[in-house]
Amino acid sequence: MKNTLRELRVRMAHAGFALTFCLSPVGAHAGEIHALVRDKTGKGVVDAVVVALPANRSAGNAGGASATIIVDQVNKEFIPYVLPVQVGTAVNFPNKDNIRHHVYSFSPAKNFELPLYMGTPASPVLFDKPGAVVLGCNIHDWMIAYVYVSDSPYFAKTGADGKANLTELPPGDYTLRAWHPRLAGKEEATERKVAVSRTGAVEATWDIGLTPEFRIRRAPIPGQRGY
């Protein structure tokens, strides 16, 4: 009887150890990249997208994104101004204004048009090619936004301080890139190679040139509703 109880305790202990091992967080074996994007004066750049491309592309294959994301239209503006997504992401374009909008893009990565509508279009737009997609509205010329479509699942957008953190990266070699709507030069010119380990974080800083901002001036007519 004593032997039977001892064997039972040993089996339970082994089972408990195996359960603890299986429930260990994946993040404990993943790396991080702490990115900082600044302009030539040293000021942090908001709305820059930092992407980490795995040297072993199969390591970064997450099968695309299935969740539907939103680019809203509020007070005759797109929100957010920059939206980074992974290839395979569907984006909805709801219109919360009490007027109609006509969303379109002529960008090579995604050419589409959502004719005049209020509310939410029947179908979201699938972004199935990598690249930067410029959004516009045929009715309100000042409305502009960007969808950055990444072929890697590892990306992040900078905040007002120019900082962005990429987390849950499998250890390995990566090529980093930084992109911004006003980036002076090509995105490929920002490339750098880094090695991500299981512990600690890689620090990466860019000092990028920005082109002058050009947006058609918003000129609403006071007291007039509609377009």
Does residue 37 sit within a domain? yes
Q: Based on the domain organization, do 112 and 169 belong to the same domain?
A: no
Q: Based on the domain organization, do 106 and 185 belong to the same domain?
A: no
pLDDT below 70 — which residues of the chain? 1-29, 58-67, 219-227
Q: Based on the domain organization, do 84 and 119 belong to the same domain?
A: yes
- CATH number for the domain harbouring residue 128: 2.60.40.420
What pLDDT sits at residue 177?
Answer: 98
Does residue 26 sit within a domain? no
Cα–Cα distance for residue pair 31/168, rounded to 1 Å: 6
Q: Based on the domain organization, do 66 and 142 belong to the same domain?
A: yes
* Contact of 52 with 152, CB cutoff 8 Å: yes
The number of C-alpha atoms within 13 Å of 73 and in the hemisphere containing its C-beta is: 29
Q: Based on the domain organization, do 71 and 43 belong to the same domain?
A: no
Work out how many domains the chain is built from and give that number: 2
**Model pLDDT for residues 86-106, shown as the tens digit of each residue:** 999 999 999 999 999 999 999
Q: Based on the domain organization, do 37 and 54 belong to the same domain?
A: yes
**Model pLDDT for residues 42-91, shown as the tens digit of each residue:** 999 999 999 999 998 755 555 555 667 999 999 999 999 999 999 999 99
- CATH number for the domain harbouring residue 184: 2.60.40.1120
Tell me the residue range of the domain where 84 lies.
Answer: 62-152
Q: Based on the domain organization, do 54 and 161 belong to the same domain?
A: yes
Does residue 25 sit within a domain? no
Quick check: helix, strand or coil at residue 100? coil
